[in-house]
Amino acid sequence: MGFFNKIKNIFTKDKKEDESAKLYDTGLAKTRNEFVSKLSFLGVKYTKIDEEYYEALEEILINADIGVNTVTKFMDSLRKRVKEENISNTKELNEIIVDELFIIYVNNESLSDKINIKENGKTVILFVGVNGVGKTTSIAKIAYKYINMGKKVMMIAGDTFRAGAYEQLKEWSQKTGSYFYGKENSDPASVIYDGLEAALNNDSDIILIDTAGRLQNKDNLMQELSKMNKVIEKVIPDCNKETLLVIDATTGQNGILQAKAFKEITDVTGIVLTKLDGTAKGGIVLAIKEEVNIPVKFIGLGEKMTDLEPFDIENYIYGLFKDMM
C-alpha cells in the first residue's frame, strides 16, 4: 500500500546492513519506543475506527512533537482516505498513517535535502542558530565528513564576541584537520572577508562559517548576516552558498519558533537537527518541514563525529516504523 509497502520491501531485504539505516534505527529508538508502541496499542484497544480512535491518535501525534497545525492537516487527510477507501481495520490504517506522514514531508515538492556542493569551485556554508544548540559541534562533524571525502575544509570563526567561541572552533579545526581563520573581538564581516581570502589562498573546497547565536535583537542580527552575505558575494561571487540553521531537537516546539524567527531575518536553505537521539519526540522533523517549509539536511543521531547523518526521509520513516513491518 503505497509508501509503507515500498519501504517494507526495500528495507527488510536490502537495508538491514546499511550503516546509515542502522544509525537511524539506533538514533530514533527513543521516539520509536514511545510513539510506535502507543500506535500499536491503539490497534489493540480499538476494534473500529471511530471518533474516539481519532482523538487518541491525534493525542499520540501531538505528543510526538509533530505539531498541532501539522497534525490537524494530517488528520483531515487521514479521515478523507478512510472514507474514500472504506477502511475499517485499524491494522490496515497503520499502513495509511505511515503513507500520510511520508506525504506530509514530501508534499509533491522537490526541496533538496542535499548540500549543494560545487564540484569544481568553492562551497560556502553559513551556520546560524541560538547558543547551546550544538552549532560548533555540527560544524566540526560536517567538516570531518567532507575531509573524509577528500575535500579541503576551512573554518571561519564569525562568532567573534562570545567568550570561548574562537578557541572552541580553533580546537575543532585542529581535531578534524581543517584550515582555520579567526580574530576575537573584531567585526564579524571583516573577519569573514579575511577568512575567505585565506580560503582562496589555500584553495579550500568547502568553507564553514560560524556566526553569533543572538536572537534577542533581530534587527542587529539581520544587518550582521546581510553584511556577511555581501562579503561572501564580493570575495567569492561564483560560490555555491548555503545557510544552515542548527536546532536542538530536544527543545521541541521551541525549535519551530526559532526556525520561524530565523527565516524572517535571513534566507535559510536547510536545517541541521541535533540531538534527535536524545528525544522521544522525533516527530519534530515533520513539523519543521510542514510549518516552516525548510528541508532538514542533517540530523544528529549520537555523540561521535560520524553520528551526523545527511537527512534521508526513507531511513527516517523506517527508523520510526520498523517495528510495525
Around 160, how many Cα atoms within 13 Å sit in the side-chain half-sphere? 17
The dihedrals phi and psi of 245, each to the nearest 5 degrees, come to -95, 125
Q: Name the DSSP letter for residue 152.
A: -
Task: Give the pLDDT confidence of 124-148 residue by residue, as tens digits.
Answer: 999 999 988 999 999 999 999 999 9
Does the pLDDT of residue 197 top 90, yes or no? Answer: yes
Structural domain includes residue 216: yes
Does the pLDDT of residue 66 top 80, yes or no? Answer: yes
In whole angstroms, what is the distance from residue 211 CA to residue 189 CA?
10
Confidence at 179, pLDDT banded by 50, 70, 90: very high
Task: Give the pLDDT confidence of 106-128 residue by residue, as tens digits.
Answer: 765 555 568 889 989 999 999 99
Structural domain includes residue 222: yes
Stated pTM of the model: 0.90
Question: Comparing C-alpha atoms, which of 232, 162, 159, 170 is closest to residue 196?
Answer: 232
DSSP assignment of 269-319, as one string? -EEEEE-GGG-S-TTHHHHHHHHH---EEEEE-SSSGGGEEE--HHHHHHH
Paired residues of 244 in beta bridges: 127, 270
pLDDT at 116: 86
Does the pLDDT of residue 13 top 50, yes or no? Answer: no
β-strands 179-182, 240-248 pairing: unpaired
Does the pLDDT of residue 9 top 70, yes or no? Answer: no
Structural domain includes residue 168: yes
Range of the domain at 220: 123-268
pLDDT at 78: 93
Structural domain includes residue 23: no
C-alpha cell at 119: 564540484
The dihedrals phi and psi of 297, each to the nearest 5 degrees, come to -105, -30
Q: How far is CA 252 from CA 115, 196, 244, 258, 274, in A?
A: 24, 35, 18, 10, 11
% the chain with pLDDT above 90 = 53
Structural domain includes residue 49: no
Three-class DSSP category at 240? strand
Does the pLDDT of residue 301 top 70, yes or no? Answer: yes
Does the pLDDT of residue 153 top 60, yes or no? Answer: yes
Instruction: Give the CATH number of the domain where residue 212 resides.
Output: 3.40.50.300
Region for residue 150 given its phi and psi (left: phi exceeds 0; alpha: psi -120 to 50; beta: otherwise): left
Does the pLDDT of residue 53 top 50, yes or no? Answer: yes
Question: Comparing C-alpha atoms, which of 267, 272, 271 is closest to residue 226?
Answer: 267
Q: Where are the beta strands (DSSP E) in 12-128?
A: 123-128
Which residues have C-beta within 8 Å of that of residue 324, sequence separation ≥ 6?
A: 36, 39, 40, 94, 98
pLDDT at 260: 93
pLDDT at 319: 86
C-alpha cell at 143: 567538516
Structural domain includes residue 166: yes
Does the pLDDT of residue 46 top 90, yes or no? Answer: no
Three-class DSSP category at 121? coil
Residue type (1 letter), 230: K
Query: How confident is the prediction for the chain on average, in pLDDT?
Result: 88
Q: What is the mean pLDDT of residues 59-77?
A: 89
Contact (Cβ atoms closer than 8 angstroms) between residue 268 and residue 244: yes
Q: Where are the beta strands (DSSP E) in 129-269?
A: 153-157, 179-182, 206-210, 240-248
Confidence at 56, pLDDT banded by 50, 70, 90: very high
In whole angstroms, what is the distance from residue 125 CA to residue 154 CA?
10
pLDDT at 6: 57
C-alpha cell at 275: 540531538
Task: Give the pLDDT confidence of 261-294 residue by residue, as tens digits.
Answer: 999 999 999 999 999 999 888 888 888 888 898 9
% the chain with pLDDT above 70 = 92
Structural domain includes residue 256: yes
pLDDT at 105: 78
Number of domains in the chain: 1
Task: Give the pLDDT confidence of 218-243 residue by residue, as tens digits.
Answer: 888 899 999 999 999 999 999 999 99
pLDDT at 158: 95
Q: What is the mean pLDDT of residues 10-23?
A: 66
